[in-house]
Structure 1
Amino acid sequence: MSEIVNPLKILFGLFSNRVLINQLAKREITSRYKGTYLGVIWSYLYPLLMLSVYTFVFSEIFQSRWSSGVNNKVEFAMVLFCGLTTFNVFSEVLTKSPTLITQNVNYVKKVVFPLEVLPVVSVLASLFNALISYIILIVGLYFFLGVLNWTIIFTPIVLMPLIIVTAGLSWFLASLGVFIRDMGQLLVILMQALMLLSPIFYPPTAIPESFRFLLNFNPLSYVIENMRKIMIWGELPNWQYLLTGTLISVIIFVCGYAWFQKTKVGFADVL
């Protein structure tokens, strides 16, 4: 058990399966658009269309403004797009997690297949889509606002806690989805609630002070805020939140992996 809960051992095990993970991730990305006329081009077209919609809706219809210094209506759309893109990395993976094992029963039957790579593959596929969205966001910031902040180099560091905690929770949910088939429906509801409770459509300052402490329990709050800092406003990330979030994420990552390894021996009996 001591080997299982060692983060370095976990990373080494995943690294040893890097070729398999890479192949499965590529297959998942291409399968999303298989049979469509535009194929993988949809990966670029969808976020571009969404950014255009957000810019039009919030600048022309709602005429919304961000209460923390954002006066440009187009910039508001960028702020919203950045928050939603970051949230979607988390939401997309966790919503799919409860069915990762049940939809891949053929892998369960294979004794030598490392089932623990499936949540990691899902995370990588989601990151691929997010990367395209972030690139479009950067291009949009440059052409619409004339902004190209050097602080975007911190993107991998800022996203790291999100990636780690998403993988850890995905292991938990992938295991629970085998034994509790209602997890999928429950996750859809929880993700909708979490989206509204995260500072995506509003700044943290919009929350009454008596309830603002609840943001500390939301794993997305500070990642979203830090992404906006480095991409849109050219500020350094909040290092305290980044360090704390990373430590908590590593704990969830290790616990999720240990839980998955402990419970996967019963998958074949249930399926």
Structure 2
Amino acid sequence: MLGMLLGAWRYRFFIFSSIKTELRSKFVRSRLGGLWMILNPLSHVLIFAFVLSAVLSAKLPGINNPYAYAIYLMAGTLSWSLFAEIVNRCLTLFIDNGNILKKLVFPRIALPLIVTGSALVNNVLLFAAILVIFGVLGHAPGLSLLYLPLLLLVNIALALGIGLGLGVLNVFMRDVGQVVPVLMQLLYWFTPIVYMPTIIPAQYHSAIALNPLLPIVTGYQEVLLYNRPPDWSALAIAALVATLLLGFSMVLFRRASPEMVDQL
């Protein structure tokens, strides 16, 4: 595993240039350029806010802003969009880059790192747009924003831990690529992004608590909506789960790498 990380460090300029090239190629003929990276999640937020805010806005305790539900939804969307992009792209990463893996010699761990870097840039741009919208809506996050880098790190670790493992399995069992999008939809609706956790019936609390993404999303909401720190105990458990999943996926990736090219 240390060898993979050292290889990635030696090829760091290749990774950075690949991220830059990927982002540029997406919008080279687009007049709106990087705006397309944030318009899709923001339109998603606006649709839900318009349809559901009249029903759920009254259930946001401690918030006096009439646009509280939209703010709550944007906080959860910021977290989910990064997680979902990394997992979904890692799922088909090695299949999509089969020709490159066969023809070029480079540390294969560079591919998920390129995906992560690209997703991170997209997420930072979305965050900047959300901050502007917060200002327009009269909501100013405070010093609690300093907790966001830690939440971001745990979010990336969890997404890579899940996405990298699924990407390797998808090379050998293509059914994985068909099942995961369905599971991602279920995970989205089992995570309190478009609804408050308080509306979940008590008998389902234990099942929802098993969701490793829950402390991360609620942490974003605590920071961006309520201007207070995340639940440290819950976040520590999520960080432990993310670390274990990432470690397992790295071991799986290292052992499967020699056979992946033959399968592709």
Q: Could you state the TM-score of these two structures normalised by the residue count of structure 1?
A: 0.87
Structure 2 residue runs of 5 or longer lacking an equivalent are none
- Confirm or deny: 8 A CA contact 1:96 1:184 kept in the other structure: no
210, 222, 235: which one pairs with 1:242?
Answer: 235
Q: Which amino acid aligns with 1:28?
A: E
Structure 1 residue runs of 5 or longer lacking an equivalent are none
Instruction: Compute the RMSD of aligned alpha carbons.
Output: 2.2
Structure 2 residue 215 is matched with structure 1 residue 222: yes
Hey, which of these two has a bigger chunk of helix by percent?
Answer: 2
Q: Which moved more, 1:131-140 or 1:29-38?
A: 29-38
1:43 — aligned with what?
Answer: 37
Q: How many angstroms apart in 2 are the aligned matches of 1:256 and 1:140?
A: 37
1:173 — aligned with what?
Answer: 166
Structure 2 residue 9 is matched with structure 1 residue 15: yes
- Confirm or deny: 8 A CA contact 1:63 1:73 kept in the other structure: no
Q: Which amino acid aligns with 2:33?
A: G
- Confirm or deny: 8 A CA contact 2:191 2:213 kept in the other structure: yes
Structure 2 residue 75 is matched with structure 1 residue 82: yes
Q: How many angstroms apart in 1 are the aligned matches of 2:49 and 2:159?
A: 29
2:151 — aligned with what?
Answer: 158
Cα deviation code 1:175-216 (max 9, x no counterpart): 111111222221111111111111111122222222212233
Identical-residue share of aligned pairs (%): 27
Q: How many angstroms apart in 1 are the aligned matches of 2:257 and 2:173?
A: 14
- Confirm or deny: 8 A CA contact 1:65 1:71 kept in the other structure: no
- Confirm or deny: 8 A CA contact 2:65 2:139 kept in the other structure: no
2:119 — aligned with what?
Answer: 126
1:34 — aligned with what?
Answer: 28
Q: Which amino acid aligns with 2:59?
A: S
Instruction: Label 1:191 to 1:255 Cα distance change in 2 as closer, same or farther (>3 A).
Output: same
Cα deviation code 1:85-131 (max 9, x no counterpart): 21121112212223111111122214631111212221221222221
- Report how many aligned residue pairs link the two structures: 263
Q: Could you state the TM-score of these two structures normalised by the residue count of structure 2?
A: 0.89
Q: Which moved more, 1:16-25 or 1:169-178?
A: 16-25
Q: Partner of 2:226: helix, strand, or coil?
A: coil
Q: Which amino acid aligns with 2:183?
A: L
2:198 — aligned with what?
Answer: 205
126, 130, 143: which one pairs with 1:137?
Answer: 130
